Amino acid sequence: VVALADARMEAALRRVSVERGHDPRGAALVAFGGAGGLHACALAAALGTPVVLSPRHAGVLSALGAMTGGSRRERSRTVLLDASHRERLEREWRRLETEVLAELARAPRRDALPRPVARALDRRRTAPRGALPPRARAPLRLRRARPRGRGGDARSPRLAPGRRPAAPAPAPPPDPAGRHDARAAPGTMVAHPRLGPRATSRRLRDARPGHRRRGRRHALDRPRLERPHAPDRHVGPEPEGTMTRLGRLDGVQLALYQALFASCAEEMGVTLMRTAHSPNIKERLDHSCALFDARGRLVAQAAHIPVHLGSMPRAVEAALALGPLAPGDVVLLNDPYAGGTHLPDLTLVSPVFLPGPRRRGRAVPDFIVASRAHHADIGGAAPGSMPLAREVYEEGLRLPPVFLARGGHVQRDVLALVLANVRTPDERRADLAAQLGAQATGERRLHDLARREAAGRGPGLARAAAALMDYAERRVRSALRGLPRGRYRFTDALDDDGLGLGPVPITVTLTLAGDRVRADFTGSAAQTPGPVNAVAAVTRAATYYAVRCVLGGDLPVNDGTFRPIAVVAPAGTVVNPRPPAAVAAGNVETSQRIVDVVLGAFARALPGRIPAASYGTMSNLLIGGTDPRTGQPFAYYETLGGGHGAGPGWDGERAMQAHMTNTRNTPVEALEHAYPLRVLATRIRRGSGGRGRWRGGEGIARVIALEAPARVTVISERRARGPYGLAGGGPGGRGVNLVRAPGPRGRVSRLPGKFQLDLAREAVITIASPGGGGFGRAQGARRVRPAPRGRRDAGAPGPARPRGARAG
């Protein structure tokens, strides 16, 4: 039991140290809680931490913190206004202030209330000049903090009325040799030279006269435990030239750099999410960010959308082919045949030049940062830019790599061209500004890392990036050697192409040859008239993702991860079409089926180890028209989760996104606020999971009523055949699409997986996603998981509810 607890605590400590870029070998481990001393030494040994600090009253530190900790109330509201609307901004601020003051007045200990603090988020601070939209949302965040302790903290300016801070007792001077000070009281915090030059580093010492320190011995009266034979380590920044002296990074250094690079991409994603305008990016998080080296090789990525991330290297290659990039340049593209996926996914690529010597001649960037976001509309024949088209020209504005910014200045002619071809120009302007802000964040974080580097120059980071790629390649090849050699073939199919052609088979032959794997899609259907064709970048992304899932573990994801994986996708097929084939659904639907066939082939190589198929469709719902509240066009886009496939020893998860999508659902409140739509229900589909010894997960049903006439497009799969089961398990339940005509007794029509209709106000749409496949033969009747109280099975649309009621 103790060993299990140690393992879990070690993982948590690594998350807050190594994964955030801090080396635990130069830190001190503090034990607190009644059992802190039981685990501290083992954890310190595992982390390489030389010192353990054990306070005398460790068992009551948590209680002390809960008693003296402050209280805080927060309120935020998002408003759409011009930057000059100061009066409305002040009104919103005063309203938030009144709400929080009233709440704090009802709370206990209301003797001292500090003044509120307001913060407005301004995109102009992170975006190049000229990128700010004329109308931007300014989230206001109001914070009120309680004074610490009953009378306030003596060291804090927030004190209760009539109280004065007590003068702090003078600290005894530290012993330069690091020995015990006979004048210091037990438990005094004194400096120690082993903790490096930082003045904030302190060690808790028991400094009683005559006390002799013994390493590793546990004692309640001796709070400091030290590894006496641990070599001295430098705690601060690495000395200059460290990276140049290291022929090969050790495991801790690799983990540190991996975490540092990934944190850059994660922070880019946070900036993009917080500053975006459209619910699709801000709420659903339909965006991805990544970091590349000067040659366009993937260095690190955030945990965002797999189909974006696996295909983004081709976009970076296309951007670099545009020509020399200078500081402040930003390349925009969405062309599926030039590194994109489908037209709504706009990609920004920009160079990062770090300080340091440059080669003569053409300047080469040290790194590349890229962001990709799904914009709710980019023009085309239908709102949402995913029509049932025959050619890519019908799907929207097609952008080869072009400069959106040069030298830090937005190219207004390029921006005007984009905005003139979309239905929601203000929203597109704001979301592009958010992406520009994310690019600036990535560049700033890389400069921070360069300053942290020993020499403060880019070449050290570049060598670390190359070492990470080689390390990832070694790890993947080692994992592949553990798989059985051979060739394994699997076929699955799309229901149809949306224009009457179907089914559309996809076949893969998987060859496992030692430390290499080859996925050959020869035998797949020819490219289709409808939009289910997946460009080669999408096919590669789906294959990489599936292989990565099978290998499992904590494998890093970068260019080295993909080197042992070869993908063969014959030109002119549904997995590698020739232009001008329509491709909007290939990114969202065909990518899911590619994952299913690759995992199906692995299931034949590794019987009993691969789970059954998940729901296998994003169930794309697009609604657009004119909002009667504003008179402006709107475009709503949503994907639905579903049931996951069951595996050996577990039931499938229900009502979750899987595989090539990693988005959230749009919250009901945000959806109804932004669009003339009313959500009648969001519920789990009871009984939709595949039967078996372990049952597949259950799907979702979402019911939406239109409050304005609109054009509705649905692109979904698994409506003709359910996701396959494995090892004798049954298939998952098929998805269902329903439309009810306006009126309480309107006719309910069951529609195919892909359709496009113009619907009247008060029409009701039900999208019910499939369940996951089951695993193993059922052994007698198994209890079905109960549904949440008050939920109904997906079928006919449920009764309407008044606006403002909560969705079921």
**How far apart are the C-alpha atoms of 295 and 292, rounded to whole Å?**
8
- Phi then psi for 305, rounded to 5 degrees? -95, 120
Per-residue pLDDT reduced to its tens digit, 309-337: 889 999 999 999 998 999 999 999 999 99
- ω into residue 228 within 30 of 0, thus cis? no
The residue written with tokens 């499939």 in the block is 770
- pLDDT value, residue 621: 97
Tell me how far apart the alpha carbons of residues 269 and 370 are, in angstroms, rounded to a whole number. 10
- What single letter denotes the amino acid at residue 221? D
Q: How many CA atoms lie within 13 A of 112 on its CB side?
A: 19
* Token reading at 672: 């109804």
CA distances to 133, 484, 732 from 412, rounded to whole Å, are 12, 56, 50
Q: What is the pLDDT of residue 35?
A: 84
Closest CA to 353 of 339, 344, 363, 341: 363
Q: What is the pLDDT of residue 150?
A: 36
pLDDT of 58: 79
Report which of residues 657 and 191 the model is more confident about: 657
pLDDT at residue 110 is higher than 60? no
For residue 559 the two structure tokens come to 């260019």
Alpha helices in 653-782 (DSSP H): 668-674
Q: Which two tokens stand for residue 358?
A: 């440059």
Strands (E), 385-542: 402-406, 409-410, 486-494, 504-513, 516-520
Q: What is the pLDDT of residues 163-184, one digit of tens each?
A: 343 444 444 444 444 333 333 3
Above 70 in pLDDT, residue 218?
A: no
Residue 470 CB contacts under 8 Å (≥ 6 apart), including other chains: 560
Residue 156: which pLDDT band, with cuts at 50, 70 and 90? very low
Dihedral, CA atoms, 287, 291, 292, 297, nearest 10 degrees? -70
Q: How sure is the predictor about 423, in pLDDT bands with cuts at 50, 70 and 90?
A: very high
Residue 161: CB atoms within 10 A of its CB come to: 8
Could you read off the pLDDT of 568-604 as tens digits, one per residue? 999 999 999 999 999 999 999 999 999 999 999 999 9
- Where residue 523 falls (left for φ over 0; alpha for ψ -120 to 50; beta otherwise) is left
- Specify the DSSP class assigned to residue 24: G
Residue 739 pairs with which residues in a beta bridge? 749, 765
For residue 722, the model assigns a pLDDT of: 97
Can you give the pLDDT at residue 70?
Answer: 66
Return the residue matching tokens 């990709």.
372
List phi, psi (to 5°) of 531. Answer: -90, 25
| Strand, helix or coil for residue 335 | coil
| Predicted pLDDT at 362 | 58
**Residue 405's beta-bridge partner residues?**
330, 410
Residue 369 has pLDDT above 80, yes or no: yes
Instruction: Report which of residues 447 and 149 the model is more confident about.
Output: 447
Among 109-123, 253-267, 487-501, 657-671, the range of highest mean pLDDT: 487-501
Tell me whether strands 736-740 and 620-626 are parallel, antiparallel or unpaired. Answer: unpaired
| Cα–Cα distance for residue pair 211/194, rounded to 1 Å | 20
Question: In the prediction, which pLDDT does 199 show?
Answer: 31
End-to-end alpha carbon distance in the chain: 42
Residue 231's CB: how many other CB atoms inside 10 A? Answer: 7
Q: Would you call 239 exposed, middle or buried from its count of C-beta atoms within 10 A (0-12, 13-18, 19+)?
A: exposed
- pLDDT for res 151: 36
The half-sphere exposure of 582 on its side-chain side, counting CA atoms within 13 A, is 23
Q: What is the pLDDT of residue 45?
A: 85
C-alpha 746: how far from chain center: 41
The tens digit of pLDDT for each residue in 537-572 reads 999 999 999 999 999 878 889 999 999 999 999 999
Strands 633-638 and 677-684: unpaired
Residue 799 has pLDDT above 50, yes or no: no
Say what percent of the chain tops pLDDT 90.
57
Residue 804 reports pLDDT greater than 60: no
Q: Quote the CA–CA distance of 480 and 104 in Å, as a whole number.
A: 59
In the predicted model, what is the mean pLDDT of residues 239-266? 68
Place of tokens 């996925």: 519
Average pLDDT, the chain: 80
The per-residue pLDDT for range 76-106, each reduced to its tens digit, is 766 666 656 778 778 888 888 888 888 777 7
pLDDT band at 418 (very low <50, low <70, confident <90, very high): very high
> Residue 469's pLDDT is what?
96
Strand ranges for 544-662 from DSSP E: 565-568, 620-626, 633-638
> Which pair of structure tokens corresponds to residue 617?
């469709």
What pLDDT score was predicted for residue 95?
Answer: 85
Strand partners, 190: 203
d(CA 411, CA 83): 22
Mean pLDDT within 114-124: 47
Tell me the per-residue pLDDT of 616-632, one tens digit each, with 9 for 90 and over.
Answer: 999 999 999 999 999 99
**Residue 21: band (very low, low, confident or very high) from pLDDT cuts 50, 70, 90:** low
Asked whether the predicted pLDDT for residue 72 surpasses 90, the reply is no
b/e sequence 424-436, b meaning 16+ C-beta within 10 Å: bbbbbbbbbbbbb
Which residues are paired to 494 by β-bridges?
504
Whether the Cβ atoms of residue 18 and residue 48 lie closer than 8 Å to each other: no
Strand order in the sheet with 402-406: 298-301, 287-293, 367-374, 345-352, 330-333, 402-406, 409-410
Length of the chain: 808
Q: In this model, does residue 211 exceed pLDDT 80?
A: no
Kind and range of the H or E element at 242?
helix 242-245
Q: How far apart are CA 21 and CA 237, in angstroms?
A: 12
Q: How high is the pLDDT of residue 23?
A: 78
Q: Poorest-confidence range of 470-484, 686-700, 789-803?
A: 789-803
Q: In the sheet where 748-751 sits, what is the strand order?
A: 677-684, 700-706, 764-768, 736-740, 748-751
Task: State the average pLDDT over residues 410-439.
Answer: 97
Q: Are 518 and 487 in contact (CB under 8 A)?
A: no
Long-range contacts of 415-422 (CB under 8 A, 24+ apart): 418/332, 421/378, 421/379, 421/396, 421/397, 422/375, 422/377, 422/378, 422/379, 422/397
Give the model's pLDDT for residue 80.
Answer: 65
Closest C-alpha to 516, from 462, 458, 567, 454: 567
Confidence bin at 71 (pLDDT 50/70/90): low
In this model, does residue 159 exceed pLDDT 70?
Answer: no
Q: What is the DSSP letter of 278?
A: S
- Residue 201 pLDDT class (50, 70, 90 cuts): very low
Q: What is the DSSP letter of 586?
A: I
Beta pairing class for 51-53 and 28-30: parallel
The pTM assigned to this predicted structure is: 0.74
438: closest CA among 344, 371, 513?
371
Q: And the tokens for 565?
A: 């994986």
Joined together, the tokens standing for residue 259 give 């975490």
Q: 681-706 pLDDT, tens per residue?
A: 999 999 999 999 999 999 999 999 99
